[in-house]
Structure 1
Amino acid sequence: MKRLSQEQFERAVNFIFTNARPLDRRVLEYHFFNGEKSAVLNELMKYQNKDGGVGKGIEPDIQSVESSPIATSVAMQYAREVQASWQHPFVKKAMKYFTDTYNYYHNWPLKMPHMNNFPHADWWHFNEHESQFEVNPGAEIVGYYHTYPQIIPEDLLPTFHDHVFQHLENRSTPIEFHEALCYLRLAEEIPDPGKTMIVDVLREWARDIVTLDPSKWGGYCAKPLWLAPTPNSPLYNVLEDVISLNLDYEIEHQQEDGSWVPFWEWGQYRDVWENKAKKEWQGALTVKTLYTLKNYERLEVTST
């Protein structure tokens, strides 16, 4: 079993403090150096727009400054990571944006027209709005209404649940990777019996969703650790064998500069990808990888 050495850890930390976005630096400090959640939330608020939604490239593959449900859901992942209170202005405004967006579209569109006006990854190009409920990011967003019930429009919750569970029950093939991540984030927040229903389906399909072959992890795929980032993850037991391999793989694939690099790239706006988005992803992924290694006790570190 491999562990990340003290020297490797220090190289990663140095990379983050030198190259990562302030938001990701604050997250590193929160998890490893007794940083304050308020520092993370202060950085998060810089990405929030007047409508309460989030944009401004918080999701590096979407450089649009305007708000979108997907960018706002990414921001809420950060907020949940530091256990932000429902009373925090960022949370209140973001949740209002989710409600306003749903009332307008009757779902949370994955792609928005304004994404085309800014540099973006090929797969984020907008063509037309989906009229149906989209699990990504819809299921995840429903989870945030359970996290923050103090600001939930109660008359909408049964409708949200109908969307989520009808989609789950009507599936005849394994859930797509990103949809699985959204269902997992919902499962973290929703009480039983909904939690158990979701987890049971995901456990049944987990090994079909995940890319089990380590030789394919260098390309874009569903790495096991993305679906089970801690030993307490509901899918850990069904993926335990490949998770161990994935932990070894990540330790082996740390870059010389201390970072971990995205296993995807844009086919357009190459200058923005190389000079901005890729670097932003390196910072975020390096923090994420260090925290995952910490969760699995794969760090030989004495200073955390």
Structure 2
Amino acid sequence: MAETGASPLPCTPPARSPLFSAEPFIWLTARVLEQRLFAYHFLRGAPAAVEAALDAYRNEDGGYGHALEPDLRGPVSQPLHTAHALRVLDAVGRCGGQRVERVCRYLTSVSTADGALPAVHPSGRGYPAAPLVQGAPTASDTPDRAGSRGSLPATGPVVGLLHRNEVWHAWLFRATDFCWQAVANLEKPHPHEVLAAVAFLDSVPDRPRAEAAADRLGRLVRAQWLAALDPGRSVPPGRAPGARHVPQQATHRGDPGPRHFPHDFARSPASLARAWFTDDEMARSLDHLAAGQQEDGGWPLRRRPWAPVPALETRALVTIEALRTLRAYGRFVG
């Protein structure tokens, strides 16, 4: 029997559980896509319903736009939106087939000369965007002969997701080589580069090489204080926990940004980044995450909002991710 776009939802989660508190926040504030993702992950919703909501963001070129990634507005396709779409498809087990073939054709069309993805494609210039994603170069960026730059934060998660789902396409060969080189070149990385590297290393097929690269990267994360190992400790602005100073390369456009915690790097126990932290460090990190749920049932943004609507849309994403991370580590969510 063909699967329909909706399915009956089970009874309400247990009262006073994190899930019980988060549910009204999602129905009140989230976009249709996040509402259906929430239903899929926690209320036995149908994957077809998620796919149907995601289709509203798809463009004729095979990419995704229309502010699918809330911090990047405008209708045109962008690599960041397309990476977001792949995460959604992966989450519901639908990352394959002709849909992903079209995505790969789009990725080929917007790639830089070295086969990587730019942080922001020039077609998006002129549309509102958060300062964080306006194409500022990072330590891993390499200029191509056209003047645009390949970006590890844009490329790594996409390559990782495609490998995770055993997608094979000509675009992947050069993009994978780019990611290996970019990860090897990281010496004083920004946390966003580390997150992208982990997304790549967790799924790339060459597991011995990935494990060796992750081990080196984990030592950098600890040596450069990129993870707050004691979340309850107050840290002066612009200073990493326990460090005398924040390396200049660990900031973005002069802004130290939000602190990152062990659970940010290791979203599940299966991640290679889990080995970077002790059991006690991870437990403190998860305790901090669980305690972050606010009175309205959602989790907060950990950075200054740049516009009201993207902030609200992002909070729904952050809330779903927090619940998924806690559940992945065996924490009770409801």
After TM superposition, the structure 1 = structure 2 runs for residues 54-93 of structure 1, keeping only pairs within 5 Å, are 54-87=64-97, 89-93=98-102
CA RMSD in angstroms comes to 2.7
After TM superposition, the structure 1 = structure 2 runs for residues 219-298 of structure 1, keeping only pairs within 5 Å, are 220-239=258-277, 240-267=279-306, 273-274=307-308, 276-298=309-331
Counterpart for residue 103 of structure 2: 94
Counterpart for residue 270 of structure 1: none
Q: 1:145 to 1:16 in 2, by over 3 A?
A: closer
Secondary structure (helix, strand or coil) at the match of 1:235 reads: helix
Counterpart for residue 109 of structure 1: 118
Counterpart for residue 136 of structure 1: 153
Take 1:5 and 1:228, find their aligned partners in 2: how far apart are those partners? 29
Gaps of 5+ in 2: 1-13, 238-256
Amino acid at match of 2:187: S
Q: 1:228 to 1:127 in 2, by over 3 A?
A: closer
Gaps of 5+ in 1: 268-272
Q: 1:71 to 1:230 in 2, by over 3 A?
A: same
1:123 to 120, 132, 136: 132
How far apart are 1:14 and its partner, in Å? 1.3
When you count helix as a share of all residues, which structure comes out higher? 1
Q: 1:295 to 1:106 in 2, by over 3 A?
A: closer
Counterpart for residue 170 of structure 1: 185
Structure 1, 210-219 or 6-15: larger mean CA deviation = 210-219
Take 2:201 and 2:115, find their aligned partners in 1: how far apart are those partners? 22
Does structure 1 retain, via aligned residues, the 8 Å contact 2:116–2:175?
Answer: no
2:82 paired with 1:43: no
Does structure 2 retain, via aligned residues, the 8 Å contact 1:41–1:90?
Answer: no
How far apart are 1:116 and its partner, in Å? 4.0
Take 2:81 and 2:167, find their aligned partners in 1: how far apart are those partners? 23
Take 1:107 and 1:178, find their aligned partners in 2: how far apart are those partners? 17
Take 1:235 and 1:71, find their aligned partners in 2: how far apart are those partners? 25
| Deviation sequence 1:235-291 (CA, Å, 0-9, x none) | 223223332112212222211110111111245xxxxx22x1111011111111111
Does structure 2 retain, via aligned residues, the 8 Å contact 1:254–1:260?
Answer: yes
| Deviation sequence 1:160-207 (CA, Å, 0-9, x none) | 34322222333333x321122222222232112443233223332232
Does structure 1 retain, via aligned residues, the 8 Å contact 2:90–2:165?
Answer: no
Q: Larger RCO: Structure 1 or Structure 2 (Cα < 8 Å, ≥ 6 residues apart)?
A: 1
Residue identity over aligned pairs, in percent, reads 26
How far apart are 1:100 and its partner, in Å? 1.9
2:220 paired with 1:211: no
Amino acid at match of 1:231: P
| Deviation sequence 1:192-245 (CA, Å, 0-9, x none) | 244323322333223233233423599612222111111222222322333211
Q: 1:252 to 1:97 in 2, by over 3 A?
A: same
Does structure 2 retain, via aligned residues, the 8 Å contact 1:259–1:286?
Answer: yes
2:197 to 164, 183, 207: 183
| Deviation sequence 1:70-119 (CA, Å, 0-9, x none) | 221122111112221411x4322212211222277843110233444222
Secondary structure (helix, strand or coil) at the match of 1:6 reads: coil
2:20 paired with 1:10: yes
The two structures have a TM-score, normalised by structure 1, of 0.84
Q: 1:90 to 1:286 in 2, by over 3 A?
A: same
Q: 1:248 to 1:152 in 2, by over 3 A?
A: same
Q: How many residues align?
A: 288
Does structure 1 retain, via aligned residues, the 8 Å contact 2:17–2:333?
Answer: no
Secondary structure (helix, strand or coil) at the match of 1:117 reads: coil
How far apart are 1:47 and its partner, in Å? 1.0
Q: 1:166 to 1:124 in 2, by over 3 A?
A: closer
Counterpart for residue 36 of structure 2: 26
